[in-house]
């Protein structure tokens, strides 16, 4: 999508998008633009409404924003228009920017329009959205210059579209090697270094916990390391994303919901998408990211409940449940990152527990950290872009939940309560007491239902949150 500013609509023929803040249903003053009057009896800017008028060889779409609209609302409103009014868009589309719009609202609107091009039918023959044509140019009319904000919005949406596809594509396509190759290609395009350890190298350096999870799969595990190193960096952030490309539960096999377990790499996908976006925006912060990628499958070689395995950190782990596998690969990812790269701040993202969904539902992710400043910055970054977090405790009172009699630690408490917390305590055990570490359990927000598809699908949660957090350090 290209962007061009124009001064007026003289001689324009095409589709005009006109955002409108809510007036009142009883207003006697019509909404007017481009010689078109719309009376309040039919449209007055109510949130999530729109009104089409054909006049002067143009399709005018008046878009209701409500009385006030936050970033997420505007993004969703414009995504809806792009996705559900596809048939009225041609080569010429003009967006009217209200004088009251702030830069972040412009950003949200443009991102939303581009996200509206996403189609879940990756293996179906569908007509390309007009916005995706190589020569498509979005025209905008405004009293200020928003080229920079719009360029940033396109970069945000492009990273999120890539993340949608990584999560939504089937597991026979998105294998650990597919993720590794995606990272390599993205690194070449956007300017970050990528190193990948396969099974042999991972074994040699002692990533035993990571390797244990992938033992039962024909797919070779890939330990993906990405390094973005701008010359002017003053801070260093480390990211780790859970990359389970499919989760059967292992020998503790899942009895329900397995069809959706292609999404168990959504934390890893969010980190991959964030690395693309951070590099594309050329943020002045060094970022090292690790995505341990493997498949948790069932085979004669699968690791067993009651096994005791080793880890990169040197701690032994008793396996209580092979379906608590995400924390095992994250343990090695966190340990390797902290020991070898020593970042100032570490954040991991994972679709880790059903427990967090039981606690917080589908409205926000669980946040675990003992660093109050880090907690506030992450929550503020998420709130600003509509990716909310809510902090849950990491008290030492929960430490007995991961204590083992035979090993240094066990991977599952076995209790029907506080599962998200005990999982976070397990991860904390492998952070070497890092003073600025946070764990985001995104199980309830990374993959779900909304108006844009009939089945559950990716949300790209975390891509913008992490980028916004790093941008504002």
Positions annotated as catalytic residues are 254, 327
Q: Whose CA is closest to 369, among 350, 348, 352?
A: 348
**Beta strands 137-141; 36-38: pairing state:** unpaired
Give all strands (DSSP E) within 84-181, no chain letters: 92-96, 137-141
DSSP states of 221-290: PEEEEEEE--TT---EEEEEE-EEEEE--TTS--SS-GGGGGGGGHHHHHHHHHHHHHHHHT-SSEEEEE
**What is the per-residue burial (b if ≥16 Cβ within 10 Å, else e) of 264-293?**
bbbbbbbbbbbbbbbbbbebebbbbbbbbb
State the CB neighbour count (10 A cutoff) for residue 238.
24
Q: Where would I find the H helices in 172-227? A: 176-190, 199-205, 208-213
On whether the CB atoms of residues 449 and 443 are closer than 8 A, the answer is no
Residue that is written with structure tokens 């909310």 in the block: 388
């Amino acid at each position: 999508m290209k962007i061009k500013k124009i001064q007026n609509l003289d001689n324009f023929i095409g589709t005009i998008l006109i955002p409108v803040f809510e007036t009142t249903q009883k207003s006697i003053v019509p909404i007017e633009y481009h010689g078109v009057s719309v009376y309040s009896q039919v449209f007055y800017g109510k949130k999530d409404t729109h009104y089409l008028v054909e006049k002067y060889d143009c399709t005018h779409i008046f878009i209701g924003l409500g009385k006030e609209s936050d970033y997420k609302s505007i993004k969703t409103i414009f995504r809806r228009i792009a996705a559900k009014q596809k048939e009225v868009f041609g080569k010429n589309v003009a967006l009217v920017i209200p004088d009251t719009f702030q830069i972040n609202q412009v950003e949200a609107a443009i991102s939303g329009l581009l996200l509206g091009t996403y189609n879940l039918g990756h293996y179906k023959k569908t007509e390309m959205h007009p916005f995706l044509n190589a020569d498509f140019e979005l025209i905008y009319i405004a009293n200020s210059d928003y080229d920079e904000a719009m360029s940033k919005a396109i970069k945000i949406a492009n990273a999120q579209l890539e993340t949608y596809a990584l999560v939504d594509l089937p597991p026979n396509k998105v294998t650990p090697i597919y993720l590794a190759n995606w990272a390599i290609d993205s690194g070449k395009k956007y300017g970050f270094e990528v190193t990948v350890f396969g099974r042999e190298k991972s074994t040699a350096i002692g990533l035993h916990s990571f390797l244990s999870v992938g033992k039962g799969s024909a797919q070779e595990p890939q330990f993906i390391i990405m390094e973005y190193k701008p010359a002017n960096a003053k801070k260093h952030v480390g990211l780790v994303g859970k990359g389970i490309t499919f989760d059967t539960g292992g020998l503790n096999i899942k009895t329900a919901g397995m069809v959706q377990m292609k999404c168990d790499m959504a934390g890893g996908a969010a980190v991959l998408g964030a690395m693309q976006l951070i590099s594309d925006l050329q943020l002045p912060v060094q970022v090292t990211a690790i995505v341990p990628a493997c498949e948790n499958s069932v085979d004669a070689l699968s690791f067993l409940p009651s096994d005791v395995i080793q880890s990169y950190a040197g701690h032994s782990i008793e396996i209580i449940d092979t379906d608590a596998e995400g924390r095992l690969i994250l343990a090695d990812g966190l340990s390797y990152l902290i020991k070898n790269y020593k970042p100032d701040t570490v954040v991991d993202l994972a679709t880790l527990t059903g427990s967090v969904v039981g606690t917080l539902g589908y409205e926000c992710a669980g946040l675990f950290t003992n660093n109050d400043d880090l907690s506030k910055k992450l929550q503020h970054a998420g709130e600003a872009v509509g990716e909310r977090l809510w902090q849950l405790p990491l008290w030492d009172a929960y430490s007995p939940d991961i204590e083992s009699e035979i090993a240094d630690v066990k991977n599952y408490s076995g209790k029907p309560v506080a599962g998200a917390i005990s999982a976070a305590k397990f991860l904390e055990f492998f952070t070497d007491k890092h003073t600025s570490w946070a764990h985001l359990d995104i199980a309830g927000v990374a993959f779900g239902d909304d108006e844009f598809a009939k089945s559950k699908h990716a949300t790209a949660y975390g891509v913008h949150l992490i980028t916004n957090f790093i941008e504002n350090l």
